[in-house]
Amino acid sequence: IVKEAQAVADLETEKAWPFLEAYLKNPLASTVLVFCYKHKTLDSRKKLGKLLAGKDAPNTVLMTSKKLYDSQIPQWLTSYVRGRKQQITGGATALLAEYIGADLGRLANEVNKLLLNVKAGQAIDEDLVQRMVGISKEYNIFELQRALVHRDVLKANRILTHFAANPKANPLIPNLTLLFNFFTRLLMLHQAGNNPSDADMQKMGINKFAQKEYQLAQRQFTIARTIDLIHLIRRADAQSKGIESGSMDEGEILRELVWLILHPVPVSAVG
């Protein structure tokens, strides 16, 4: 296996190419040679791409693995776990998909860790995910998100205080990313009109276990307000990079953002 073949610079040089071309056209029956292009696509305009995609090397296979959409991650997780003769609950797949995203390598590593700790005959559930992946049961970004949707100011402030006291376990950028994803999906839900189907919501990346939360958020935040909130999250992201943030630390940036979300302050009034 040639790992990260995209970084091998001399595959198509005048000196090396004739030997590689001859081998690919007539490979050894006892050998499987694999070139892995990590995070890149093989350029079909170059020699290797043309040869593998053409008819001159009939014993070769060119496979392109596209990155999964967020909406496909829960199903992938379910299949991955079942392939290892275990079960996982829908809530656990939704939590992993939301917290980790579409990084299949990291997801596989976390699931393998969970499989080592799940008891025989039991499914991987949300409690196990929270314990093993390092998500605080009470003080995490999903609970903060829920507090925003329910306009629970007290709960939101408790979570913010915990985040500020534990900054290494609660870095700002990943939390902003998750909030941005939530309100972006909420915007898509607004644009979908009344009563979108479950299939439509899945395409938006809204898992069926989160549908009620999004429907409540749709009632709490108008489409215009949702657009404003996305703008405010982008502003907080810029502040985290030192743009117009003054001496604010990460905890203060997030606290200000949460205050602005919970209070109907026009974006035009925000500096």
pLDDT digits (tens, 9 = 90+) for 209-221: 888 999 999 999 9
The three-point CA angle 85-86-90 to 5° equals: 135
Write down the pLDDT at residue 271.
Answer: 64
Residues 36 and 77 in one domain: no
CA dihedral 157, 159, 164, 168 (to 10 degrees): -160
Domain-embedded: residue 65 = no
- Assess whether pLDDT exceeds 80 at residue 39: no
pLDDT band per the 50, 70, 90 thresholds, residue 69: confident
Residues 25 and 118 in one domain: no
Domain count, the chain: 3
Domain-embedded: residue 58 = no
Last residue of a domain, one of 79, 114, 133: 133
Whole-angstrom Cα distance, residue 158 to residue 161? Answer: 5
Residues 162 and 128 in one domain: no
- Assess whether pLDDT exceeds 70 at residue 77: yes
Query: Where in the sequence is the domain holding 35, given as residue range(s)?
Result: 5-53
Domain-embedded: residue 95 = yes
Domain-embedded: residue 105 = yes
- The string of pLDDT tens digits covering residues 181-238 is 999 999 999 999 778 888 888 888 888 888 899 999 999 999 999 999 999 999 999 9
In Å, what is the CA distance from 203 to each residue of 111, 187, 258?
24, 13, 28
Q: Does residue 2 contact residue 35 with C-beta atoms inside 8 Å?
A: yes
Q: Where are the alpha helices (DSSP H) in the chain?
A: 17-25, 47-53, 73-82, 90-100, 104-117, 126-133, 141-149, 153-165, 172-191, 198-203, 211-220, 223-240, 250-262
Count Cβ atoms below 10 Å from residue 85 Cβ, excluding itself: 7
The count of C-alpha atoms lying within 13 angstroms of the C-alpha of 267, restricted to the half-sphere facing its C-beta, is 13
Residue 218 sits in a domain of what CATH number? Answer: 1.20.272.10
